[in-house]
């Protein structure tokens, strides 16, 4: 499909998945005058997920898309990250690393994943987000594709963007990689700031480390809440392991009593085994591409999965602006993004430890 032969506003673009990658892609394309329809399997965009750190290159894109004000109002600037022992002895305190050319940008904006998705969706026409649409197959006809959904609906498109996460159905068209188990579980919860003994009442992201166990306290001050993330080694690769609070507390027996009390007070945890994928050889055809975790799921250690999805969306929109055809745009998009995402996938396999010399190993690579 030649872009110059078809007005951008006539392009039929389907996005599969309404997570951060899918909604960011729809906003980025809208900014280029390209309309996209999102198809999401869930029946509602729910309040699921944890706190995440949005980094300056992603913020630059929000400014380009003229949505930064809304994001700024629903997020909180963090200037520092600390690594401490389980007993709260400080090992490292660092400013966030510089990832842009602007030397002032040594920070991250901390935000709840749901607030980010809701802000992105609020930029889109209501009728362009279709819930209850689970994609079962995408068929490639080279210059167009068909997305088939389990509810019997089939949609034809000039471009299909698969933002369907780590279990992407579309990914098998390009490469047969299975998710790789990290050997770790993550137990997560959002709690009130008043229940954290002041351990996270400033704007610093803290990681308490004891051997292979880490407790993250990520402040969401604009909500007066804290995102708690406990990462522990486990041989159980079940995607959603059934873990009891007493089992979680056993891992924390060497931690400061206040940290144990914080965890003791949590009523419900979201328990997940942590998986990523190996880098793909390729992730686009002439009219189908992957973005976000579908293309390059990575572990949470560098806090870059959501940022990569947002920056994929930005790069794809720019490629579509500059290229003469969709195949050329998809080639360019992949060429720009793959070296960066591959590096973060590899780097994210390093878990924080008491031996770390920096809280940000990425700064030596980017
Ligand atoms: C504890 C934790 C902390 C994190 N912290 C950070 C951080 O600080 N910074 C950061 O950048 N990243 C962070 N991440 C990573 C980040 O959350 C993910 O990388 C990001 O959400 C990926 O977005 P995505 O849209 O590609 O995939 P997802 O968020 O997984 O969204 C995929 C969407 O597709 C839908 N879907 C799936 N299959 C289908 C189908 N067949 N048909 C239709 N819809 C479908 C799903 O329902 C979902 O809505 C963290 C992750 C974890 C687990």
CB contact set of 285 (below 8 Å; sequence gap of 6+): 140, 142, 173, 174, 330
pLDDT recorded at residue 127: 97
pLDDT at residue 191 tops 70: yes
User: Mean pLDDT over residues 248-260, rounded?
Assistant: 97
DSSP-H helix ranges across the chain: 20-31, 56-64, 68-73, 113-121, 245-251, 257-264, 293-296, 305-322, 326-347
CB atoms within 10 A of CB 315: 21
Give the pLDDT confidence score for residue 105 in this predicted structure: 84
Average pLDDT over residues 214-220: 96
**Does 115 contact ligand 1 (Cβ within 6 A)?**
no
Q: Which tens digit of pLDDT belongs to each residue from 261-271?
A: 999 999 999 99
Grade residue 226 by pLDDT with cuts at 50, 70 and 90: very high
Share of the chain above pLDDT 90, in %: 87
Is pLDDT above 90 for 183?
yes
What pLDDT sits at residue 360?
80
d(CA 220, CA 216): 13
- Give the residue, by CA position, lying nearest to ligand 1 atom 30: 165
118-160: pLDDT as tens digits: 999 999 999 999 999 999 999 999 999 999 999 999 999 999 9
Q: Are 294 and 285 in contact (CB under 8 A)?
A: no
- Please determine, for residue 7, whether its predicted confidence score (pLDDT) is greater than 90: no
Inform me whether the pLDDT recorded for 282 exceeds 70. yes
pLDDT at 4 over 70: no
Give the distance (Å) from ligand 1 centre to CA of residue 88. 31
pLDDT at residue 359 in the model: 76
For the stretch 305-355, pLDDT in tens is: 999 999 999 999 999 999 999 999 999 999 999 999 999 999 999 988 888
Distance 293 CA to ligand 1 centre (A): 6
Average pLDDT over the chain, rounded to an integer = 93
Is the CB of residue 312 below 6 angstroms from any atom belonging to ligand 1? no
Residue that wins the pLDDT comparison between 4 and 132: 132
| Cβ(22) – ligand 1 distance below 6 Å | yes
Task: For ligand 1, say whether the CB of 52 is within 6 Å of any of its atoms.
Answer: yes
Residue 85, φ and ψ in degrees, nearest 5: -75, 170
SS (H, E, C) 262-317: HHHCCCCCEEEEEEECCCCCCCECCCEEECCHHHHCCCHHHCCHHHHHHHHHHHHH
pLDDT digits 0-9 by tens, 71-122: 999 999 999 999 999 999 999 999 998 877 787 888 999 999 999 999 999 9
Indicate whether residue 273 lines ligand 1 (CB < 6 A).
no
Residue 188 CB–ligand 1 contact under 6 Å: yes
> Which domains, and CATH codes, for the chain?
8-79+109-178+277-364 (3.50.50.60), 180-276 (3.30.9.30)
**Residue owning tokens 């686009």:** 284
Cα(281)–Cα(295) distance, rounded to whole angstroms? Answer: 10
Per-residue model confidence (pLDDT) at position 6:
62
Average pLDDT, stretch 275-283? 97
% helix / strand / coil in the chain, to the nearest 5?
A: 30, 30, 40
- CA dist., res. 109 & res. 96, Å (int): 11
The answer, yes or no, to whether residue 49 has pLDDT greater than 80, is: no
pLDDT band at 361 (very low <50, low <70, confident <90, very high): confident
Establish whether residue 292 lines the binding site of ligand 1, counting it when its CB lies within 6 angstroms of any ligand atom: yes
- Looking at residue 47, its pLDDT comes to 58
| SS3 at position 142 | coil
State mean pLDDT over 23-39: 97
H helices present in 194-284, as ranges: 245-251, 257-264
With the most atoms of ligand 1 within 8 angstroms of its CB, the residue from 148, 179, 293 to mutate is 293
d(CA 145, CA 101): 39
Q: Is the beta carbon of 51 within 6 A of some atom in ligand 1? A: no
């Amino acid at each position: 499909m030649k872009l110059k032969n078809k007005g951008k506003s006539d392009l039929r673009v389907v996005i599969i998945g309404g997570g951060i990658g899918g909604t960011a892609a729809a906003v980025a394309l809208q900014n280029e005058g390209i309309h996209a329809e999102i198809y999401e399997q869930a029946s509602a965009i729910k309040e699921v997920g944890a706190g995440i750190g949005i980094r300056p290159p992603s913020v630059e894109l929000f400014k380009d898309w003229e949505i930064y004000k809304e994001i700024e109002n629903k997020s909180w600037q963090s200037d520092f990250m600390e690594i401490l022992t389980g007993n709260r002895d400080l090992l490292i305190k660092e400013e966030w690393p510089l990832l842009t050319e602007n030397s002032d940008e040594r920070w991250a904006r901390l935000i709840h994943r749901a607030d980010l998705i809701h802000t992105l969706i609020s930029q889109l026409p209501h009728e362009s987000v279709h819930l209850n649409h689970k994609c079962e197959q995408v068929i490639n006809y080279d210059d167009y594709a068909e997305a088939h959904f389990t509810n019997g609906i089939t949609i034809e498109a000039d471009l299909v963007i698969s933002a369907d996460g780590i279990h992407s159905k579309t990914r098998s068209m390009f490469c047969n990689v299975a998710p790789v188990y990290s050997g770790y579980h993550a137990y997560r919860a959002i709690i009130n700031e008043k229940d954290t003994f002041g351990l996270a009442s400033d704007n610093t992201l803290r990681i308490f480390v004891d051997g292979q166990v880490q407790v993250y306290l990520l402040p969401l001050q604009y909500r007066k809440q804290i995102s708690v993330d406990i990462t522990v080694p486990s041989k159980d690769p079940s995607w959603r392991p059934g873990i009891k609070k007493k089992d979680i507390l056993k891992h924390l027996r060497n931690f400061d009593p206040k940290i144990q009390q914080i965890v003791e007070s949590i009523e419900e945890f979201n328990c997940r085994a942590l998986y990523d994928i190996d880098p793909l050889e390729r992730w686009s055809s002439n009219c189908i591409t992957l973005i976000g975790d579908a293309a390059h799921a990575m572990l949470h250690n560098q806090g870059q999965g959501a940022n990569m999805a947002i920056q994929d969306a930005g790069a794809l929109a720019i490629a579509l602006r500059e290229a003469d055809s969709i195949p050329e745009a998809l080639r360019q998009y992949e060429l720009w993004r793959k070296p960066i995402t591959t590096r973060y996938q590899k780097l994210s396999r390093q878990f924080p430890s008491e031996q770390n010399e920096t809280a940000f190993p990425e700064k030596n690579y980017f």
